[in-house]
Amino acid sequence: MKTSETMKAPTGTKLTCKGWQQEAAMRMLMNNLDPEVAENPEELVVYGGIGKAARNWESFHKIIETLKELENDETLIVQSGKPVAVFRTHAHSPRVLIANSNIVPAWANWEHFYKLESEGLMMFGQMTAGSWIYIGAQGILQGTYLSFVEAGKKAFGTADLAGKLILTGGMGGMSGAQPLAGKMAGAVTLVVEVEKKRIERKIKEGYCDYLVEDLDEALELAKQFQNKKEAVSIGLVGNCADIFPAIYKKGIIPDLVTDQTSAHDPLNGYVPHGMSFEEAISLRKNDAKQYEDKAKGSMAVHVQAMLDFQSEGAEVFDYGNNIRAYAQEMGVTNAFDFPGFVPAYLRPLFCEGKGPFRWAALSGDPEDIYKTDRLAKEMFAEDESLVHWIDMAQKMVKWQGLPSRICWLGYGDRHRFALEVNRMVASGEIKAPIVFGRDHLDSGSVASPNRETEGMKDGSDAVSDWPILNALVNTAGGASWVSVHHGGGVGMGYSQHAGQVIVADGTDEAADKINRVLISDPGMGIARHVDAGYEIAIETAKKKNVHIPMLDN
C-alpha cells in the first residue's frame, strides 16, 4: 500500500475530480499528509499526538478514489477516517460529511477509544487532522501570538514583550508555533522539547533559532538576549517535568509560563520523565498501563512547577492540552489555580464571532496567497493588528504544503472577504479556487469545559448542543465539507467540536454558499455567547443584526 513518502497534493487548474469541491477535499486531505505538513505521515498522523487524516492507507486510497468519481450532487460519508457510503443529495449539499472519534458519553474515555482503535473501528481525528484543513504550524501561529500579546498586556500592561522570558513545553505540530509566536511578540522564548528531532525540524522550517542540550547553557543564552532585548527562540532538549522544576530551584522566574506538550493523551502524547526518551518509547510499547501512570505522575510534577512559578509572580496559563485535569487526578488539588488561555485572553474575541479563519490556494502558487494578503490589508486597513499580522506572516512564515494564510476574522468580515476572493477567482486574478476553513477551536463550534468553554458566564461549559447545531447549520447552508468530532485538543471525554470548509471556485453557486455558511458559522459563535450572557456578544448581535429571537422585544 502506498505510503506518504512522496505525498503532494496536486496543484494547478486542472481538475482530476468531477467538481472543485471534491477536488478541494482531495487536495486538502493529501496536503494534510504531505511530509512538509504532517508530523508522522507514514502513520497518517498529522499533529496533536495521534491526530490522523484517515483510518489507514486502505481507507485513504478509497477516499481518494471515491472523491474522483463523486458526482456534483452526491455526498461521501466518512466515519472515523473510513469511507462508508455515498448518497445522492443535491448540488448545494456538502460533498463530504465526516464524523470522527465520537463515542457515546458513558464510554467516552481513552481506554475504550484505544480498544476500538485496536479493533480497527475508529481513529482519533483531533480537530483539523481528520477534517482535512490542517495547514501546518501557521494554523495556530496567530492565535499563539495573540495569546502571548494578551498575556503580556494583562501581566505587564504592554503588548511588547521585549526583554521578557517565556517558558513553555512542546515543539511538535501545533506547539511548534510557540517559538516563532514568542519571537513575533518580541520575547525570548525557551521551549522544552523531549525529542531532539522535533526541534531540528522547527529550526529547518524557520520556526526556531537555537537548539541547546544543556539547561545552564540555555538559561545563559536566554539571559544574554533578554539583556539585549533581542527576540529569539531557544529549543532545549529535555523533559518539562525535569526542566521546569530545575529552573524554579535555580530561583529563575520566567515572565510567562505555559505548556503545549501533548498532555491531552497520556499514552501516545505526553512523555514521562525520569527515563530517557528511548526508554519511554519502549515502555509505551511494552507496558501501556505503567506508561500512562508515569506520564500522569510527570504531568503532576510539571503542573506543580507551573503553580510554583505562578506563586512567585509569573503569568501562567494552560494552553489547551488538558494538563491541569491529569495533574488534578494525580493529587495536585489546586491544578486549576492557573486559568486556561480562552477565559484569560481570547473569549472577548469569540464574543464577536472572531477565531482562526484560514485559507489555502489550490493552485499551489504563493502569488495567489499574496493577492489575498493584499486584499485583506485593503479591506481591513483600519485594523492595525491585522495588517501588522499579515506583514509579519509574509516575512516570517515559510510555506508548508499548499500555500495558505491564517487570519483571525469575525462575523461580517469572513463572508465579505471570501466573496471578494470568489470574484477574483472568477475573473482569473487568482489562478485556482481558494479553500476557506477554520480550526474547530472557534467561537461557536466547540464545547470543551477545560478549554474553549471553560468558566462560561452561565455555567454552560459542558453543553455540547452548540457544536452539533453548528455542524447542522453549516450542512444546511451548503459548506463543502462538514465534520463533527470528539476529544480534540483535550482528549477523550473532554470535548465535542465541529468543522466546516467552503470552496470559493469563482461560481455564483459558491457565492451563494459563502453568503450562507460564512454568516451562520461565525454567527453561531455570537449566538452561543449571547446565550451565555456576554455583553460584548449581545452588543455585536445588535450592531450586526444577528437575529437572536430571545433578544427581540
- 169 part of the interface to ligand NAD, by CB under 6 A: yes
Smallest gap from Cβ 199 to ligand NAD, in A, equals 9
> Which positions ≥6 away from 287 have C-beta within 8 Å?
none
- 48 part of the interface to ligand NAD, by CB under 6 A: yes
Which residue lies nearer to ligand NAD by CB, 13 or 276? Answer: 276
Smallest gap from Cβ 198 to ligand NAD, in A, equals 4
Give the 3-state secondary structure of residue 215. Answer: helix
Determine if residue 263 is labeled as part of a ligand binding site. yes
Crossing angle between the packed helical segments 277-286 and 288-311, to the nearest 10 degrees: 130
- 94 part of the interface to ligand NAD, by CB under 6 A: no
Cell (9 digits) for 453: 468553554
Which residue lies nearer to ligand NAD by CB, 100 or 363? Answer: 100
Determine if residue 270 is labeled as part of a ligand binding site. yes
Determine if residue 271 is labeled as part of a ligand binding site. yes
AA identity, residue 151: A
Smallest gap from Cβ 274 to ligand NAD, in A, equals 11
- 152 part of the interface to ligand NAD, by CB under 6 A: no
Cell (9 digits) for 296: 500522569
- 241 part of the interface to ligand NAD, by CB under 6 A: yes
Residue 259 near residue 214, CB atoms below 8 Å: no
- 264 part of the interface to ligand NAD, by CB under 6 A: yes
Give the 3-state secondary structure of residue 192. Answer: strand
- 194 part of the interface to ligand NAD, by CB under 6 A: yes
Using CA atoms, how far apart are residues 97 and 79, in angstroms rounded to an integer? 9
Q: What is the DSSP string of 424-469?
A: HHHHTSSSS-EEEEE-SSSTTSEE-TTTTTTT-TTS-TT--HHHHH
Smallest gap from Cβ 137 to ligand NAD, in A, equals 8
Which residue lies nearer to ligand NAD by CB, 90 or 204? Answer: 204
- 262 part of the interface to ligand NAD, by CB under 6 A: yes
Binding test (CB under 6 A) with ligand NAD, winner from 192, 301, 325, 510: 192
Using CA atoms, how far apart are residues 57 and 76, in angstroms rounded to an integer? 18
- 43 part of the interface to ligand NAD, by CB under 6 A: no
351 counts as catalytic = no
Q: Which stretch binds ligand NAD (CB under 6 A): 264-272, 281-289, 305-313, 540-548?
A: 264-272
Binding test (CB under 6 A) with ligand NAD, winner from 198, 202, 354, 405: 198
Which residue lies nearer to ligand NAD by CB, 264 or 324? Answer: 264
Which residue is at the shortest CB distance from ligand NAD?
172
Task: State whether the Cα torsion 176-201-127-263 is positive or negative.
Answer: negative
Which residue lies nearer to ligand NAD by CB, 415 or 497? Answer: 497
- 146 part of the interface to ligand NAD, by CB under 6 A: no
Residue located via cell numbers 500555500: 403
- 261 part of the interface to ligand NAD, by CB under 6 A: yes
Span 484-503, contacts to ligand NAD by CB under 6 A: 489
Determine if residue 260 is labeled as part of a ligand binding site. yes
Residue located via cell numbers 465526516: 98
> Which positions ≥6 away from 390 have C-beta within 8 Å?
373, 376, 377, 405, 407
Alpha helices in 261-322 (DSSP H): 277-286, 288-311
First and final C-alpha spacing in the chain: 62
Closest CA relative to residue 96, chosen from 75, 112, 114: 75
Residue 366 CB coordination number (10 Å): 15
- 270 part of the interface to ligand NAD, by CB under 6 A: yes
Distance of CA 464 to the CA centre of its chain: 19
> Which positions ≥6 away from 223 have C-beta within 8 Å?
none
Which residue lies nearer to ligand NAD by CB, 260 or 520? Answer: 260
**Residues assigned a catalytic role:** 407
Q: Binding residues for ligand NAD, per CB under 6 A? A: 39, 47-49, 140, 143, 169-175, 192-195, 198, 239-241, 260-264, 269-271, 298, 319-321, 441, 489
Binding residues for NAD(+): 48-49, 126, 193, 198, 260-264, 270-271, 319, 489
